[in-house]
Amino acid sequence: MTDPRSTGADAGLREEVARVRWFHSIPLRRDLTTPGLEPDTSRKLRWAGLPERLDGKSVIDVGSWDGFFAFEAERRGAARVLATDHHAWNAPEYGDAGFKLARRALESRVEQMDVDVLDHSPSVVGEFDVVLFLGVLYHMRHPLLALERMRSITRELLVLETHVEMLPSRRPLAAFYPGRELEGDESNWWGPNIPAVAALLRAAGFSRVEVVWPRPGPAAFARRLYALGRGVAGGRPVFPNALTRRATFHARP
């Protein structure tokens, strides 16, 4: 027999979820997932290459938004997880209501700190074994400075996922978006290619950089997609002679 108190609590949670404008799709219950603008956030897990277990590790999720990856790090056993954001949590159309509701619904111990990307430093947030920097780099007006900030707080591993472009080129190159060229979003500034991201990471002080996505090798994969004419980002053409995609890097001090 169903406990009526449980049924009422579940109905209340569904009502709260419906009032929030979500970006991430976060499973809160077996039969309740937040209706994110990103319909299947979990698919990014195969791109990110997160360690299957994070037992005993400290993790920071920079640009956390609704907190999907922060909660996932906790689920994988991290001893401490800090979620940081500023842009999304202070945007009138979003805010941090989703993060706070998901944390409460999941009975999570993930910590929250409102801090701009360029204000991250050991004195402000501390140092972490694993730093998640997912979907943030191309929003940075000063990408190298942002990566230097990430290097300053990384003890073991930076996981960086970003929009990339011009994949067939082996030279470090980056497209600049002065307006809404990428997905109609004026907060998108840069479309680096894979060699450019790797070079930026090394310039920021990381000694070991690995491309973990796409597989089976960025150059071969890029040439195949380029031949198919799929020069799009988020389903929208960007530049007719450019190939766009997402890429993930693991960088270590």
Q: pLDDT tens-digit profile of 136-147?
A: 999 999 999 999
Distance CA 198, CA 172 (A): 8
Please give the mean pLDDT across all residues of the chain: 88
CATH node for 4-252? 3.40.50.150
In this prediction, residue 227 has a pLDDT band, given cuts at 50, 70 and 90, of very low
In this prediction, residue 245 has a pLDDT band, given cuts at 50, 70 and 90, of confident
The rounded percent of the chain whose pLDDT value lies above 70 is: 85
Q: Is the pLDDT of residue 164 over 50?
A: yes
Task: Give bridge partners of residue 208 from the DSSP assignment.
Answer: 252
The residue that leads in pLDDT, 170 or 216, is 170
Q: Is the pLDDT of residue 230 over 50?
A: no
pLDDT digits (tens, 9 = 90+) for 86-136: 999 999 989 999 999 999 999 999 999 999 999 999 999 999 999 999 999
Sign of the dihedral through C-alpha 162, 142, 232, 66: positive
pLDDT digits (tens, 9 = 90+) for 22-66: 999 999 998 999 999 988 898 889 888 999 999 999 999 999 999
Torsion of CA 15, 18, 20, 26, to 10 degrees: 100
In this prediction, residue 178 has a pLDDT band, given cuts at 50, 70 and 90, of very high
pLDDT at residue 243, as a whole number: 52
Residue 187 near residue 161, CB atoms below 8 Å: no
HSE (side-chain half, CA atoms, 13 Å) at 239: 14
Q: Is the pLDDT of residue 233 over 50?
A: no
Q: What pairing do the DSSP bridges indicate for beta strands 58-62 and 128-134?
A: parallel
- Token couple for 100: 């706070």
